[in-house]
Amino acid sequence: MDELRYQNTRRTDLALEERETFEDDDVEIKGVVLEEDYDEDTDIKLTRVIIKDERGAKAMRKPIGTYITIEAPRISGSDEGYHKPVSNLVAAYLEELTNGVEGKHILVAGLGNRNLTADALGPQVIDNLFVTRQLIKEFGDEFAKRNRLEMMSAISPGVMGQTGMESSEILRGIIKETKPDMLVVIDALAARSVSRLNTTIQITDTGISPGAGVGNNRNALNKDSLGIDVIALGVPTVVDAQTIVDDRMENALRKKGFSEEEVYQFLNEMTDRDVENMFVTPKNIDDSIHRISYCISEAINSVFYKEPKFGKA
Amino acid sequence: MDELRYQNTRRTDLALEERETFEDDDVEIKGVVLEEDYDEDTDIKLTRVIIKDERGAKAMRKPIGTYITIEAPRISGSDEGYHKPVSNLVAAYLEELTNGVEGKHILVAGLGNRNLTADALGPQVIDNLFVTRQLIKEFGDEFAKRNRLEMMSAISPGVMGQTGMESSEILRGIIKETKPDMLVVIDALAARSVSRLNTTIQITDTGISPGAGVGNNRNALNKDSLGIDVIALGVPTVVDAQTIVDDRMENALRKKGFSEEEVYQFLNEMTDRDVENMFVTPKNIDDSIHRISYCISEAINSVFYKEPKFGKA
Amino acid sequence: MDELRYQNTRRTDLALEERETFEDDDVEIKGVVLEEDYDEDTDIKLTRVIIKDERGAKAMRKPIGTYITIEAPRISGSDEGYHKPVSNLVAAYLEELTNGVEGKHILVAGLGNRNLTADALGPQVIDNLFVTRQLIKEFGDEFAKRNRLEMMSAISPGVMGQTGMESSEILRGIIKETKPDMLVVIDALAARSVSRLNTTIQITDTGISPGAGVGNNRNALNKDSLGIDVIALGVPTVVDAQTIVDDRMENALRKKGFSEEEVYQFLNEMTDRDVENMFVTPKNIDDSIHRISYCISEAINSVFYKEPKFGKA
Amino acid sequence: MDELRYQNTRRTDLALEERETFEDDDVEIKGVVLEEDYDEDTDIKLTRVIIKDERGAKAMRKPIGTYITIEAPRISGSDEGYHKPVSNLVAAYLEELTNGVEGKHILVAGLGNRNLTADALGPQVIDNLFVTRQLIKEFGDEFAKRNRLEMMSAISPGVMGQTGMESSEILRGIIKETKPDMLVVIDALAARSVSRLNTTIQITDTGISPGAGVGNNRNALNKDSLGIDVIALGVPTVVDAQTIVDDRMENALRKKGFSEEEVYQFLNEMTDRDVENMFVTPKNIDDSIHRISYCISEAINSVFYKEPKFGKA
């Protein structure tokens, strides 16, 4: 990796986009495996990034693990028939990364602030789940088997500005008390590319680790911090406004013939306090988040309840 | 107590209403103290019911403790100036029952289902709180003292049908993890009288104990089940439809000259599956719950932050 | 009709329930035709009340016209597969009462206050409609024919307490300006029986006529007041609390052997200011109104767009 | 004006920002008067742009009239005490531009889509208005005088994608039917500068005229199209993402020494389909729109009701 290459420090939560920052797509990055698939009928692109070792983790600034990305550009649209194949893919990958849910109790946590549209994905998913733990506790295993239910509980812990507590504190407490076998966290992500907003779903077995790929953080949501396996399922709902500006600027300056070094220096000089805390979002964000969160709820429900007759419209 | 007296088994969560079922207001019930006060200017009535011993607890079907009721018929209306005196009273009683909040960390829990209007009081109160725990943890005690902040955290745990977990499980987990000194729970209550809907606030130091005054229940929210003191603050938002029907029927039959015994027998014979799970509620319930929950938030905020400049509109 | 028979003056908006107040179901009321049908598979009951002349209108206290009622007890539940047959029936009756929508421009108005749950049915239906007028105006008749679209516009006019205007004023203005051929109004109704709450849909070609069957009211929404045909589609979402009390009381007193006259006198004596402006509603009203309004939107969309691929989740 | 000067074609709805595009602030533009005022205590900046004639209208690409701008950077914050001075200023300018509301009937219309956060300002303002027309119609002028009420009605007409109708069609119909003397429209605007998002209020007597300063459009909301005076009150809630990118790019290229002409050519070459239909918005947009819309409602209510005791929290 060129030392002088401008490091766009603006973050992406997508392993896929981190991978794309490496200049030549075909170059193999040591410790990172990339697999891609595309379905013409549905226009869905599947990518699997596997970070195999510490070398890969360092290059990718993400923890070791498997990152599956479903890119479904039409999911944001109003064609309801289109939800089914996406929902089925999410369900299949959830089954894969959880190693099957049979006989397990799984806690699903919807992170984020339900009162801020761009951050409400997690709570909206939780609102449409069909939880089963209380039914199985009341009616027993026989009932569960007969109705093909697996045990799911769910929580929207809120954000620190609303609760005064880290999500990790709340979840750690609930996990110790109710002893689930695994945690699935749902969260709104930041992406670098606007075309991925509300159209891309990333599922990973690494949990969520604030900070660059180092998992040893009490506020992380992963096996180290919580003691159980954590699957993270996320959808990019915002792009940082600075990212948009920087990306365009970089392209523009390169086109004009500036050198790596000059571009790097220029962007570092530019500080733009104005766009701090600003994000870029599509006009129909309320609708698209509603749609994609419903699609994810359906996927999760189908994993825990084999012949779903229930659901919340 | 007359054995034949018809026991209206429909529940009220208000100690005040339980007290009123005793026929003669002036009769002293053993083990129960009643104090009343009334302010003509504000039309606010204050009642303090103290259940002193097991005999009182049995008669009242509620645990031993202090129950303070603020009846403010105009709080549901649109006069915003009226909120202040009610809010101040709530704050004063919270200070009294918590023995002051200085130097304590208090967790506030808003029980109920935010998606069902009549049950959304608790979550709506939480949405307007100004939590401070994260600030004090980040900036230290000196900062807190300078800004006259006391430590508050808050959570809306949801209901079992949404989470698969008892509120007591969630709160017990969070309490073990974050170690607050005291819990304040906010909840929507059931009353017997429609005139008390969204106009009455009850504050008690007994917590919440499902079942008749017996505190030894894992699903209760009280010192026995959670290990810390629990203050419960509630507002009646519904009357059970059966209660309305029974009350009117009882009055009607008495008026017509039927004996205690006949009335009792008649009401017991009547079963009305139709009105099961139905409740009686005023037409403007959405507005009034919004108003009274805002008033309670303001009260709590003022207890934890002495010169409030903050708040969420 | 027995002159002394107690006239329960509490209102029902359902012609079906008005018909039921006549003591003997089999007695033919002059000027009123009653047809009933029942589907065992879906547990859906269909009733058609036709008020043929002024005599019938007077007896029924409703205007001359056709009143179709779909009773679908399971529509309030969470089985989404159940929506389809109900939605199809609503669509079929809409087609029947409108005489087909081909080549017409139809305005759909969702009455009620979107901020009060029990009154929000109309606005919620409008929120899920796929309006077409703007598309047809922009892309032309050829486009409409190719895509099998008929012309629909829609409005939620709000209620007088929010707008300062009668719904009839707002709609009359819009009708004069945009010249639709027909108006369909959606509204939340009052019923007498709690078992009909959120489970029953009434469709009528009489519009909405406040007052007992007399159509000559400027605030009515019917052909007389608006100049175009008006179809009204309603769902009972509340029962007046007084109705519940009166009904139970009447039954109780009859059972105890009181005469017609005594019952009548007794109920007239009883005035219960307490339950005024109170209504009876199921605990899950928010969910059920959400479900049934979505079902109605789907029905309307399917009438105006023959092969729906669109929709709002 | 330099012909070669790059014309940032991205729109701003603020006359203030249009004025700022002229390079030298002190240069007088023919036909345009600029007055500025600043209050240090409240950090509120007041600007009055008066477009006096066609020459000014052409230069400013806005119709002839008065544009008052209140810039209150702290209005978006949580200090509730800060709302009062802003609200008072809005009320004062409304009085000025309406020439007083005494004896007039004024219709207030909240434009926009209530289901898209960034567009919901108008409907949210309407939701908090205290309308009086129905009261004055019912209780008479004497009642109005005694209670110091002026006549206000209000409507949220929705957007074309929801109704199939232009807002102008709906409002024209309602105006013909209810005959108000004046229309006040509330709308979310687009700005060029992110620092103005949710902090700036523009009030103008020109109404709303889509297209560059030419008022003769059936879809405009102004005296030409509606027949009555129209005051428009708007708050910028979004900046077009392309605007942000273009502005930064322009600055960057100028800094690097490119000529006017080169910058102009470069920006025109750049087309960035990716950021089309994307907007830039602060993270807390839901909260800030809630706050500023409440502040505007209070201002309007105070104009129509001299000693407000009412209001909706």
Task: List the chains bordering chain A where 3 or more Cβ pairs fall under 8 Å.
Answer: B, C, D
pLDDT digits (tens, 9 = 90+) for C176-189: 999 999 999 999 99
Average confidence (pLDDT) over B200-204: 96
pLDDT digits (tens, 9 = 90+) for D27-64: 678 889 999 999 998 899 999 999 999 999 988 888 99
Contacts with A236 (C-beta within 8 Å, 6 or more apart), sequence order: A12, A13, A14, A188, A189, A190, A191, A196, A197, A198, A200
The answer to whether B81 and B87 have CB atoms below 8 angstroms apart is: no
pLDDT bracket for residue A210 (50, 70, 90): low
The answer to whether B202 and B67 have CB atoms below 8 angstroms apart is: yes
Return the pLDDT at D281: 86
Return the pLDDT at D25: 56
Q: Is C74 on the interface with A (CB under 8 A)?
A: no
Return the pLDDT at A214: 39
Average confidence (pLDDT) over D253-281: 77
Q: Is C78 on the interface with B (CB under 8 A)?
A: no
Return the pLDDT at D11: 67
Q: Is A160 on the interface with D (CB under 8 A)?
A: no
Residue of D nearest to A116 (CA): D286
Q: D193 CA to chain C: closest CA distance, Å?
A: 33
Residue given tokens 């949220």 in the structure block: D156
* Chain B interface, best mutation among D74, D75, D80, by max B CB count within 10 A: D80
User: Which of D249, D270, D277 is closest, CB to CB, to A283?
Assistant: D277
User: Which of B135, B162, B174 is closest, CB to CB, to A173?
Assistant: B174
pLDDT at C8 over 80: no
Return the pLDDT at A80: 67
Q: D157 CA to chain C: closest CA distance, Å?
A: 7
Average confidence (pLDDT) over C220-249: 90
Chain A / chain C CB contacts < 8 angstroms: 27
Structure-block tokens of residue B287: 């507005």
User: Which of C79, C294, C313 is closest, CB to CB, to A290?
Assistant: C313
Q: How many CB atoms lie within 10 A of CB C2?
A: 7
Q: A295 CA to chain C: closest CA distance, Å?
A: 10
Return the pLDDT at A309: 45
Q: B66 CA to chain C: closest CA distance, Å?
A: 29
pLDDT bracket for residue D249 (50, 70, 90): confident
Q: Is C310 on the interface with A (CB under 8 A)?
A: yes
Structure-block tokens of residue B49: 């019911």
Distance CA(B56)–CA(B29), nearest Å, equals 7
Q: Is C28 on the interface with B (CB under 8 A)?
A: no
Return the pLDDT at D192: 86
Least confident of B141-145, D241-245, D305-309: D305-309
Mean pLDDT taken over chain B: 85
User: Which of C81, C294, C312 is closest, CB to CB, to A309?
Assistant: C81
Are residues D177 and C158, on separate chains, in Cβ contact within 8 Å? no
The answer to whether A155 and A171 have CB atoms below 8 angstroms apart is: yes
* Chain C interface, best mutation among A124, A131, A284, A309, by max C CB count within 10 A: A309
Interface subset of B 98-117, CB within 8 angstroms of A = 115
Q: Which residue has the higher pLDDT, C5 or B36?
A: B36
DSSP structural state of residue C234: E
- Three-state secondary structure of chain A: CCCCCCCCCCCCCCHHHHHHCCCCCCCCCCCEEEEEEEECCCCEEEEEEEECCHHHHHHHCCCCEEEEEEECHHHHCCCHHHHHHHHHHHHHHHHHHHCCCCCCEEEEEECCCCCCHHHCHHHHHHHCCCCCHHHHHHHHHHHHHHHCECEEEEECCCCHHHHCCCHHHHHHHHHHHHCCCEEEEEEEEEECCHHHCCCEEEEECCCECCCCCCCCCCCCECHHHHCCEEEEEEEEEEEEHHHHHHHHHHHHHHHCCCCHHHHHHHHHHCCCHHHCCEEEEECCHHHHHHHHHHHHHHHHHHHHECCCCCCCC
Return the pLDDT at C217: 64
Q: C204 CA to chain B: closest CA distance, Å?
A: 26
Query: Which chain A residues are closer than 8 Å to C78 by Cβ?
Result: 310-312
Distance CA(C14)–CA(C35), nearest Å, equals 15
The answer to whether D213 and D135 have CB atoms below 8 angstroms apart is: no
Least confident of A97-106, B255-264, D66-75: B255-264
Distance CA(A109)–CA(D57), nearest Å, equals 56
Q: Is C65 on the interface with D (CB under 8 A)?
A: no
The strand pair at D278-282 and D229-240 is best described as antiparallel
Residue given tokens 């506020």 in the structure block: A219
Are residues B174 and A175, on separate chains, in Cβ contact within 8 Å? no
Q: Is A174 on the interface with B (CB under 8 A)?
A: yes
Average confidence (pLDDT) over B280-307: 89
DSSP structural state of residue C103: T
Contacts with B26 (C-beta within 8 Å, 6 or more apart), sequence order: none
ipTM of the complex: 0.88
Q: Which residue has the higher pLDDT, B125 or A255?
A: B125
DSSP string over chain D: --TTS----S----HHHHHHTSS-TTSPPTTEEEEEEEETTTTEEEEEEEE-SHHHHHHHTS-SEEEEEEE-GGGGSS-GGGHHHHHHHHHHHHHHHHT--TT-EEEEEE-S-TTSGGG-HHHHHHHT----HHHHHHHHHHHHHHHTB-EEEEE----HHHHSS-HHHHHHHHHHHH--SEEEEEEEEEES-GGGTTTEEEEESS-B-SSSS----TTSBSHHHHSSEEEEEEEEEEEEHHHHHHHHHHHHHHHTT--HHHHHHHHHH---GGGTTEEEEETTHHHHHHHHHHHHHHHHHHHHBSS------
pLDDT digits (tens, 9 = 90+) for B272-282: 666 777 888 88
Distance CA(A53)–CA(B128), nearest Å, equals 46
Are residues B244 and C279, on separate chains, in Cβ contact within 8 Å? no
Return the pLDDT at C35: 92
pLDDT at A43 over 70: yes
pLDDT at C2 over 80: no
Return the pLDDT at B188: 93
Q: Is D158 on the interface with C (CB under 8 A)?
A: yes
pLDDT at C271 over 50: yes
Structure-block tokens of residue A225: 């911090």
Residue of A nearest to C127 (CA): A287
Least confident of C53-57, C281-285, D108-112: C281-285
Q: Is B237 on the interface with A (CB under 8 A)?
A: no
pLDDT bracket for residue A183 (50, 70, 90): very high
Structure-block tokens of residue C79: 């089985």
Amino acid identity for residue C198 in this structure: N
The answer to whether B208 and B62 have CB atoms below 8 angstroms apart is: no
Q: How many CB atoms lie within 10 A of CB A256?
A: 14
pLDDT bracket for residue B256 (50, 70, 90): confident
Closest C-alpha to A230, from A195, A274, A186: A186
Mean pLDDT taken over chain C: 85
pLDDT at D240 over 90: no
Return the pLDDT at B309: 45
DSSP structural state of residue C29: P
Q: Which residue pairs from B113-117 have beta carbons closer than 8 angstroms and sit at least 24 positions apart in sequence? A: B113/B158, B113/B159, B113/B161, B113/B162, B114/B156, B114/B158, B115/A127, B115/C286, B115/C287, B116/C283, B116/C284, B116/C285, B116/C286, B116/C287, B117/B285, B117/B286, B117/B289, B117/C117, B117/C285, B117/C286
pLDDT at C96 over 80: yes
The answer to whether C17 and C10 have CB atoms below 8 angstroms apart is: no
Q: Which residue pairs from B141-147 have beta carbons closer than 8 angstroms and sit at least 24 positions apart in sequence? A: B147/B305
Query: Which chain B residues are closer than 8 Å to D290 by Cβ?
Result: 313
pLDDT digits (tens, 9 = 90+) for C148-176: 999 999 999 999 999 999 999 999 999 99
Distance CA(A44)–CA(C139), nearest Å, equals 31
Return the pLDDT at C273: 66
Kindly report the length of chain D. 313
Q: Residue D104: exposed, middle, or buried by beta-carbon count in 10 A (0-12, 13-18, 19+)?
A: middle
- Longest Cα–Cα distance of chain C, Å, equals 71
pLDDT at D142 over 80: yes
Return the pLDDT at A10: 55
Query: Which chain C residues are closer than 8 Å to A294 by Cβ?
Result: 313
Contacts with B255 (C-beta within 8 Å, 6 or more apart), sequence order: none
Are residues A152 and B164, on separate chains, in Cβ contact within 8 Å? yes
Residues paired with residue C192 on neighbouring β-strands, in sequence order: none
Contacts with C184 (C-beta within 8 Å, 6 or more apart), sequence order: C94, C98, C106, C107, C108, C109, C230, C231, C232, C233, C300
Least confident of A211-215, B134-138, C99-103: A211-215
Q: How many CB atoms lie within 10 A of CB D255?
A: 11
Query: Which chain C residues are closer than 8 Å to B252 by Cβ?
Result: 249, 252-253, 266, 270
Residue of D nearest to B290 (CA): D313
pLDDT bracket for residue D5 (50, 70, 90): very low
Query: Which chain A residues are closer than 8 Å to D279 by Cβ?
Result: 280-283
Q: Is C176 on the interface with D (CB under 8 A)?
A: yes
Average confidence (pLDDT) over B123-140: 96
> Helix (H, G, I), strand (E, B), or coil: what is residue B262?
helix
Are residues A266 and D272, on separate chains, in Cβ contact within 8 Å? no
Least confident of A27-36, C170-179, D111-120, D254-263: D254-263
